[in-house]
Chains A and B, each alone.
Chain A
């Protein structure tokens, strides 16, 4: 039987041709993963659902623009959700509260959530995911923490400074160095 992940490109192509049922299938198979991303970034169920709604509208209208160079269908869809969340966060200017619980894998490897979603889709368990977790473990605590705050919660530099009491220059430097290390590490891991 074809894995649902393998059906995503088929559903997306059919959506580009106007197939509403295919788009519904794609929505119901991916909504939990994408909503998890939106909820973590927006820290508000209402705002996250608003971002999710906008993102799927854009996915429907731009379905024909997807191609393999964008990564998997879910990678492409997740990017659309993330950018919508970032736009909303930047438009808000400030957020009411920060989510301070950032995974801190200094003493143990960061947990990979491998639960099965309510849609029946599995998350995690990919070679890329393994490499990412390994490479995140090679970063310093500050590098890992600042990248997590930016990527997972959409915090700006100044919000991170306010949140962590570190100097702006240090925050920027940790993110830059951390991303550099991640890039080199993942390239190395995937080429081996």
Chain B
């Protein structure tokens, strides 16, 4: 099929912008956008054409916490010290982490299981799943899921990159396209709402990819660096 036929391209671009494409078709079209300027321009045309529809949507005020979360993710150096002090969480440079860093992932998982058992269930949301993303037996990120939230903690082993971001993905067991769980921090920790996809998909693994700053623009992972199993506690 010639996707660059004018009429065909117009139909595909309009479907993409309106939101009619999904799954593999959406991924394939994003690849075409990356490859062909003509495809991008046709998408921009439809975005401009339909944008007045957005003007009829009443504005709504988001919670102030959204901006605080954006600041913390973009500029953790400025925001993380006050956040950690306020939350009284352990610093990534604390002795406990220095001890844990060289420990293999299996041992860390064991520590987590014990910690989970010892937690006061009334005080702390119950962790339901956990994954340790590692490289050469060195833990890089710890992923903890509760019923409502996902927390990703970076260790000091994570390579700091100015030219790239790390993005976390669900790899579905049915072979369909990976689903993004968002960017993950190079240092400190990040907590966000649990995505419903975690409950609706059969998960084969979690994966971390290297992406351009800001994350994947194609909806698919770039270079996959690490994978890990998600363990149900």
Contacts and interface: CB of A to CB of B under 8 A. Distances in A.
B197 A93 contact: yes
B215 A58 contact: yes
Contacts, number: 174
A117 B69 CA distance: 22
A144 B213 CA distance: 38
Interface stretch (B46-54, B114-122, B222-230): B46-54
B100 interface: no
Contact of B192 (A39, A50, A117, A121): A50
A150 B53 CA distance: 12
A17 interface: no
Contacts of A69: 41, 44
Interface string A123-151: 11010110111001000000000010011
B166 to A, nearest CB: 13
Contacts of A24: 67
B53 A186 contact: no
Interface residues on A, range: 35 or more
B57 A40 contact: yes
B62 A35 contact: yes
B196 A91 contact: yes
B164 to A, nearest CB: 11
Interface in A88-118: 88, 90-94, 103, 110-113, 115, 117-118
B66 A87 contact: no
Which A-B residue pairs are the 9 nearest by beta carbons? A61-B214, A32-B59, A132-B52, A117-B59, A71-B48, A91-B197, A92-B196, A61-B213, A75-B51
Interface stretch (B18-26, B125-133, B153-161): B18-26
Among the interface residues B49, B65, B192, B197, which one has the most CB atoms of the partner chain A within 10 A? B49
Contact of A182 (B49, B56, B59): B49
A60 B59 contact: no
Given A33-B57, A93-B201, A121-B59, 4 more contacts: A54-B215, A75-B47, A93-B196, A156-B20
B207 interface: no
B14 A36 contact: no
B215 A151 contact: no
Interface stretch (B88-96, B104-112, B137-145, B177-185): B177-185
Nearest to A63: B214
Contacts of A91: 179-180, 195-197
A52 interface: yes
A147 B215 CA distance: 29
B61 interface: yes
Contacts of A70: 44, 47-48
B35 interface: no
A60 B52 contact: no
Interface string A41-68: 0000111111011101110111000000
A82 B41 CA distance: 18
A156 B22 contact: yes
22 contacts: A27-B67, A31-B66, A35-B66, A48-B62, A53-B66, A53-B69, A53-B70, A57-B214, A61-B165, A61-B214, A75-B47, A75-B54, A78-B51, A78-B54, A103-B56, A113-B57, A119-B59, A123-B59, A129-B52, A129-B56, A133-B56, A147-B18
Contacts of B11: 176
